[in-house]
């Protein structure tokens, strides 16, 4: 990429006889890549019993430990039901994920999202409670296809229905910062003042929708409360970064999604972002996954969207310097399926960004389609075991050879390693080459960028939680150095950090 439980005692029989009809849907497409509906890295017991709603699972912490904790969207989608006071479910939220798939969280203490809102995976829907026909705090969860409850799979793991209490650790990680969820963010340039060193940005979202930047000094980030924009990247939108006018300073972009599908850009002058302007009026609608890269090698970053679903098409709109051209310019007709992790990088070093997808799951393959400048070539397998489900893949040029490499953060309670596979121009070499043995812990958001300006991309992690620290491990070309704190308060929970 361009540098630049205790067992629940719940009265479920009544729920089973008073189930709310699922939202009508089209013939179900591929199952979305559902994540656990609670925060990354946290552990819950789970249980299903014979009186339960078909295929439903109850998640909880022993006693009342999860009362008031966040209930999260398990995949991107649109909120289609927010119901309070139901006799069985109590307070519940249903999300439409497209392709006939919906999910439901119930017995909420309160609902914190509005009907019609577009949500990312990991975005809060409400707080865990014990409303409706429930005798103790827990999170009731369902997955539905064409209105019919399905056996639940989260984080690539099929839940067990043998009546025994089991345990699962949430993999609802990897979206932008505190957003937590599945939103695939593999890396994007963030040098906002054009000094050759990547900086950091946080989008506060919510009602304020402010944007704060901390600039890199080469060994730390300066500024905590330096607001660069006061209304950009609202909740449900996807904010990213890139140099869209080719002036050497990275700008910010947001994809509104939904039925509008607008794209807004705010250009950087080196000290702030200017007023936002609409650069495209129909791109990456609804649950498509957008990304940024220079696909024709003209020095201006362009935009790409992965439609996912059954078609799995890839569309590109090229930058003119003051807008994006092209709505229906298909550059690939089958890449980045639902549940996979698509991203962007220049793997062959020709200065044109290519597309990369991590299949995750049990195969954990990596496929690449290189850019010709007007389309993407047929995809080829570039690695056959990298970033399985639950890990967080990213892209960057870690050895400064002009070709982007891949890194994965294991991000689990048992291991928090970082592994790298280097690009040789056509494939990625190395499966078990550990470059760091303690970086990007569960609940944190790891990312990449060249923070000291030496031409080699480094790794960064935003701790979020109560500390909001930022740690960087710089690259030596063969490993990452011990993580050092570069900022002590940046990127609060619920914000998107890049």
Residue 6 pLDDT level (bands cut at 50, 70, 90): very low
What does the pLDDT read at residue 470? Answer: 96
Residue 17 pLDDT level (bands cut at 50, 70, 90): very low
> Does an H or E element contain 16, and which?
helix 13-16
For the cut 80, the answer to whether the pLDDT of residue 22 exceeds it is: no
What is the average pLDDT across 423-434?
Answer: 90
What does the pLDDT read at residue 15? Answer: 39
For the cut 50, the answer to whether the pLDDT of residue 176 exceeds it is: no
Cα–Cα distance measured from residue 119 to residue 80, given in angstroms and rounded to the nearest whole number: 11
Select from 251, 239, 237, 232 the least CA-distant residue to 189: 251
> Does an H or E element contain 15, and which?
helix 13-16
Choose between 289 and 199: higher pLDDT: 199
E-state strands within 374-432: 380-383, 392-396, 405-409, 418-423, 428-429
For residue 200, how far is the Cα from the chain centroid? 17
- β-bridge mates for residue 94, sequence order: 81, 104
What does the pLDDT read at residue 177? Answer: 42
Best mean pLDDT range from 203-207, 249-253, 326-330: 249-253
**CA angle centred on 373, ends 372 and 378, rounded to 5°:** 35
Residue 173 pLDDT level (bands cut at 50, 70, 90): low
Select from 285, 356, 390 the least CA-distant residue to 34: 390
Cα–Cα distance measured from residue 29 to residue 145, given in angstroms and rounded to the nearest whole number: 8
What does the pLDDT read at residue 7? Answer: 34
Choose between 49 and 394: higher pLDDT: 394
What does the pLDDT read at residue 42? Answer: 75
Confidence (pTM): 0.73
Choose between 360 and 385: higher pLDDT: 385
What is the average pLDDT across 57-82?
Answer: 87
What is the average pLDDT across 432-454?
Answer: 90
Cα–Cα distance measured from residue 159 to residue 49, given in angstroms and rounded to the nearest whole number: 13
Choose between 340 and 332: higher pLDDT: 332
Mean of per-residue pLDDT scores for the chain? 86
For the cut 80, the answer to whether the pLDDT of residue 413 exceeds it is: no
E-state strands within 307-409: 314-319, 324-325, 330-332, 341-345, 354-358, 366-369, 380-383, 392-396, 405-409
Read off φ and ψ for residue 403, nearest 5 degrees: -120, 130
Q: How far is CA 190 from CA 240, 257, 343, 453, in A?
A: 9, 22, 16, 12
What does the pLDDT read at residue 3? Answer: 46
Residue 124 pLDDT level (bands cut at 50, 70, 90): confident
Choose between 124 and 22: higher pLDDT: 124
- β-bridge mates for residue 201, sequence order: 213
Q: Which residues neighbour 221 within 8 Å (Cβ) at sequence distance 6 or greater?
A: 199, 200, 214, 215, 470, 486, 487, 490
């Amino acid at each position: 990429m361009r540098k630049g439980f205790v067992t629940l005692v719940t009265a479920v029989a009544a729920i089973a006889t008073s189930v709310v009809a699922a939202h009508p849907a089209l013939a179900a497409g591929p199952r979305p890549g559902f994540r656990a509906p609670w925060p990354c890295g946290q552990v819950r017991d789970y249980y299903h019993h014979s009186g339960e709603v078909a295929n439903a699972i109850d998640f909880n912490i022993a006693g009342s430990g999860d009362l008031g904790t966040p209930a999260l969207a398990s995949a991107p989608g649109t909120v289609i039901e927010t119901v309070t006071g139901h006799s069985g479910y109590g307070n519940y939220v249903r999300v439409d994920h497209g392709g006939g798939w919906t999910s439901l969280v119930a017995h909420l203490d309160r609902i914190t999202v509005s009907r019609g809102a577009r949500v990312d995976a990991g975005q809060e829907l409400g707080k865990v409670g014990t409303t409706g026909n429930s005798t103790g705090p827990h999170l009731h969860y369902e997955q539905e296809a064409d209105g019919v409850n399905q056996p639940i799979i989260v984080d690539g793991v099929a839940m067990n229905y043998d009546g025994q209490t089991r345990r699962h650790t949430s993999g609802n990680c990897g979206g932008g910062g505190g957003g937590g969820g599945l939103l695939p963010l593999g890396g994007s340039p963030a040098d906002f003042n054009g000094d050759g060193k990547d900086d950091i940005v946080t989008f506060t979202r919510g009602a304020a929708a402010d944007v704060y930047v901390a600039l890199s000094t080469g060994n730390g980030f300066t500024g905590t409360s330096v607001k660069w924009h006061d209304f950009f990247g609202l909740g449900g939108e996807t904010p990213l970064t890139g140099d869209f006018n080719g002036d050497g300073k990275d700008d910010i972009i947001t994809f509104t999604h939904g039925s509008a599908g607008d794209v807004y850009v705010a250009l950087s002058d080196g000290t702030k972002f200017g007023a936002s302007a609409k650069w495209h009026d129909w791109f990456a609608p609804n649950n498509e996954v957008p990304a940024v890269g220079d696909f024709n090698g003209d020095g201006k970053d362009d935009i790409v969207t992965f439609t996912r679903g059954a078609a799995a098409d890839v569309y590109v709109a090229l930058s003119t310097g003051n807008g994006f051209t092209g709505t229906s310019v298909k550059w690939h007709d089958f890449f980045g399926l639902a549940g996979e992790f698509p991203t962007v990088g220049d793997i062959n070093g020709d200065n044109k960004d290519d597309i990369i997808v991590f299949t995750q799951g049990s195969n954990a393959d990596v496929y690449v389609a290189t850019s010709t400048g007007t389309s993407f070539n047929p995809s080829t397998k570039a690695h056959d075991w990298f970033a399985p489900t639950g890990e967080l893949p990213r892209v960057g040029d870690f050895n400064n050879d002009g070709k982007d490499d891949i890194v994965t953060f294991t991000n689990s309670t048992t291991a928090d390693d970082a592994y790298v596979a280097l690009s040789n121009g056509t494939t990625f070499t190395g499966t078990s080459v550990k470059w760091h043995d303690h970086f990007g812990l569960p609940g944190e958001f790891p990312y990449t960028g060249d923070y000291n300006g030496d031409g080699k991309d480094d790794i960064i992690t935003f701790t979020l939680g109560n500390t909001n620290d930022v740690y960087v491990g710089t690259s030596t070309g063969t490993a990452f150095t011990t993580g050092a704190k570069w900022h002590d308060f940046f990127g609060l929970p619920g914000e998107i950090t890049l």
